[in-house]
Amino acid sequence: MIIGSGIAGPAAAMALQKAGIDPVVYEAHTTGADGVGVFLTLGSNGIDALRTIDADAPAITAGFATPTMDIVSTTGKALGRIRTSRPDANVTSRTLKRADLYGAIRDEALRRGIRIEHDKRLVDAQNTGNGVRAVFADGSEEYGDLLIGCDGIHSTVRGLIDPAAPAPAYSGLIGLGGYTRGVPVDTRTGSYRMMFGKRAFFGYVPAPDGEVWWFANLPRPAEPARGELENIGSEQWRRELTDLFADDAGPAAALVRASQEITPAGPMHALLTLPAWHRGRMITIGDAAHAPSPTSGQGASLSVEDAVELAKALRDLPTIESAFTAYEALRRPRVERIVKQAARVNNNKAAGPAGRIIRDLVMPLILPRLANGEQSRQTYGHHIDWDTTTAAPENAGRPQP
Ligand SMILES: Cc1cc2nc3c(=O)[nH]c(=O)nc-3n(C[C@H](O)[C@H](O)[C@H](O)COP(=O)(O)OP(=O)(O)OC[C@H]3O[C@@H](n4cnc5c(N)ncnc54)[C@H](O)[C@@H]3O)c2cc1C
């Protein structure tokens, strides 16, 4: 049983099917989380992981290539360039509307005959000894051999595995985005430009059809209540954002001014480290287990990698427990490195006046190393080989919380 039909859910379903396991996906909403957010970037590692299960083509078709990111200061000074693609192969990061990515992955799963049941919100689950019993908000129950929580950053499965699990932390930033035409920009198609503005962060990228896709991260010390941002209209956002970016170099204020609609992408949260990823026959993957701040541009890619590695471990190891333990040993160091790195960048996005001066001095020294060095290769160049066997964990028998 897979809980959640976002990115990790359908990807896990396809990977399990390829591994010879028969999954069913249960999704809380009538359609999936399609409407949430504006657009996102699937890193070359995410595309590569989808390729492992022959599911990369729909995502590639739905987006456009975005191989580089230039980082600039509030005055427009270049701070560095990040290559967001594998240097050694024909795999390039793609930017897609969130709804298109969800749709592409879900439709591919459906095309493969995978059952996705909607209006099924998991509210409870228990290990039964030789399986898992899942209870849904509509009062129905289902039984399966195992349960995979792909239910996102505000996961229910996480708390069922460990009632003491930490909640995701609000990062002090909110996200907004929009699409604009007719405003000249200083970057070419597919090349992101990200600006550490004086009072907020702004990113934009021209799409092949001439539209400019943009997003902004605004410091908001107090976490907005649920629905609060959605109740603010585009006109009010436009006024706030044009004011926030008025003193910065570049087209941020002009892009915002020319946008018909400005969409809130919500308060930005992160889950740095979760002590228990699994208990008995239940496990969390994707944002439910480790949610990097959206700043990382890696949450979706890590979710697909998780899905593929978990399916391989279940294929290769003799028991569910040994598969879960081997999977965690393999994944934890990688995802926690990326999550922590994103948290550091987030702090820079919300820097005060003194912090901004230090940041603009230090970034040009650090970024080239971060961007083109070992870290970038490790993040974007990650490859999963479907045909290698997952090694048995040394500590398969360790006690579970
Ligand atoms: C503003 C913003 C920008 C981002 N930009 C990027 C980016 O550029 N690149 C990137 O890689 N990542 C980005 N991310 C992160 C990325 O969206 C997530 O990492 C990714 O969606 C995680 O996938 P998931 O499948 O784990 O969870 P989700 O995509 O959140 O899917 C979870 C699913 O579970 C369902 N669900 C929840 N609870 C239940 C329940 N109890 N029962 C049944 N179903 C349930 C939900 O309805 C949803 O369909 C961004 C996030 C935000 C907020």
- Total domains in the chain come to 2
Q: How far is the CA of 129 from the centre of ligand 1 (A)?
A: 30
Pair 127, 199 in one domain: no
From the list 302, 289, 78, 283, the residue with the least C-alpha distance to 191 is 78
Pair 102, 205 in one domain: no
Task: Look at residue 344 in the predicted model and tell me its pLDDT.
Answer: 77
Task: Look at residue 399 in the predicted model and tell me its pLDDT.
Answer: 43
Pair 149, 237 in one domain: no
Q: Which domain holds residue 48?
A: 2-62+96-168+271-348
From 216, 250, 269, the end of a domain falls on 269
Is there a domain that residue 119 lies in? yes
Widest Cα–Cα separation across the chain: 62
Q: Is 266 in the pocket of ligand 1 (CB under 6 A)?
A: yes
Pair 44, 163 in one domain: yes
Task: Look at residue 111 in the predicted model and tell me its pLDDT.
Answer: 98
What's the CA gap between 8 and 288, in Å, rounded?
A: 10
CATH of the domain at 245: 3.30.9.30
**pLDDT one-digit tens code per residue, 129-165:** 899 999 999 999 999 999 999 999 999 999 999 999 9
Q: Is 206 in the pocket of ligand 1 (CB under 6 A)?
A: no
Task: Look at residue 400 in the predicted model and tell me its pLDDT.
Answer: 40
Pair 181, 261 in one domain: yes
* Alpha helices, DSSP H, located in 350-393: 353-372, 374-380
**pLDDT one-digit tens code per residue, 55-73:** 999 999 999 999 989 999 9
Q: Is 103 in the pocket of ligand 1 (CB under 6 A)?
A: no
42, 95, 287: residue to mutate for ligand 1 pocket, most atoms within 8 A of CB? 287
Q: How far is the CA of 356 from the centre of ligand 1 (A)?
A: 31
Is 314 strand, coil or helix? helix
- The stretches in the chain having pLDDT less than 50 are 396-401
- 285 contacts: CB under 8 Å, gap ≥ 6: 8, 12, 148, 149, 150, 277, 303, 306, 307, 310
Pair 196, 254 in one domain: yes
Is there a domain that residue 394 lies in? no
Pair 194, 304 in one domain: no
Task: Look at residue 401 in the predicted model and tell me its pLDDT.
Answer: 38
Q: Is 40 in the pocket of ligand 1 (CB under 6 A)?
A: yes
Q: How far is the CA of 174 from the centre of ligand 1 (A)?
A: 16
- Whose tokens are 């979760």? That residue is 274
Q: How far is the CA of 287 from the centre of ligand 1 (A)?
A: 6
